[in-house]
Every structure is written in structure tokens, then in C-alpha cells.
Amino acid sequence: MPPPSDVPPPAWTRERVESRLIAAFRLMPGLPVYGRGRRMVVVEGGGEALSDVLAWSRLLDDDEDGRLFLWAWARCRATRASFGALCDGSGWKRTTAEVGRRRAARAIATQLSSPLAVKLS
């Protein structure tokens, strides 16, 4: 069996990105979710992995709506809140929000999978 350093990391997928975001919001359920502007969050004492996951926000500078939908969805999943109710209360069409959050998660996975990707996970 090769040493752990020779084992390639798991591939980045939309589902893996979503899972990591949910885990981050479970650790910090009160973290604000904003859709406009770059959000770089550094979590003191939260560990490198958590701050890396939350720093993915900068990968979505060209898709602010997708970032808002994905972050809001992940927080809802982490806190067991209703994403549908959030959509209704925010005036978002649920299908638009779902498409946007999936698009954003795919964009993050694609960028993290790139051979030129900066280590963010």
C-alpha cells in the first residue's frame, strides 16, 4: 500500500463542495450570508479547513446570486431550516435558487479540480 502522500485526494464534485459547506455552517450556524461583494472569512480557532471552505466565496465573484443561493442553502441544511421557506420569505423563486446554488457548487468544484487551482481545501 502506498504511503498516504501518494494517494490522490478525492475528486471535487458539486456534491462534495455542498457537503463541505454544510459541515462549515454546522460549526458556525450564525455566520451571515450575503450575496453582494466579496466575503473573506477567517475563523479564529476554527481550523484551517473551515476558513478554507468559507474562503471559496472568492471563487464566485462572477456569480453573486449563485453564491448567495449556495451559502443560504448550505446554512439551511446545516441548521435544519427550510430552504423553501427562506426562498418564499426572500422573494426568490425556488427553482431559480436551486439552479443557482447547483451552478455555484459546480463552479467551485471545477475550479478546485483544475491543475492550476490554488490549494483551498
Would you state the pLDDT for residue 4? 60
Enclosing H/E stretch for 102: helix 94-113
- Examine residue 1 and state whether it is found in any structural domain, yes or no: no
Element housing 72 (H / E): helix 64-79
Q: Is residue 104 classed as helix, strand or coil in its secondary structure? A: helix
| Distances 119 to 9, 49, 74, 76, 100 between C-alpha atoms, Å | 12, 11, 22, 27, 25
Q: Would you state the pLDDT for residue 79?
A: 92
Q: How far is CA 30 from the centre of its chain?
A: 15
In this structure, are residues 93 and 87 in contact, taking their beta carbons and an 8 Å threshold?
Answer: yes
**Which range marks the domain in which residue 78 is found?**
11-113
Considering the domain boundaries, does residue 6 fall inside one? Answer: no
> Does residue 106 lie in a domain region?
yes
In a domain, 3, yes or no: no
Tens of pLDDT, residue by residue over 61-106, are 889 899 999 999 999 999 999 999 999 999 999 999 999 999 999 9
Residue 113's pLDDT band, with cuts at 50, 70 and 90, is confident
Does residue 41 have a pLDDT over 50?
no
Residue 2 belongs to a domain: no
User: How many domains does the chain fold into?
Assistant: 1
- Domain assignment of residue 71, yes or no: yes
- DSSP state letter for 12: P
pLDDT at residue 34, rounded to an integer = 57
Q: Is the pLDDT reported for residue 48 higher than 80? A: no
pLDDT of 99? 98
Rounded CA-CA distance 68/26 in Å is: 17
In a domain, 67, yes or no: yes
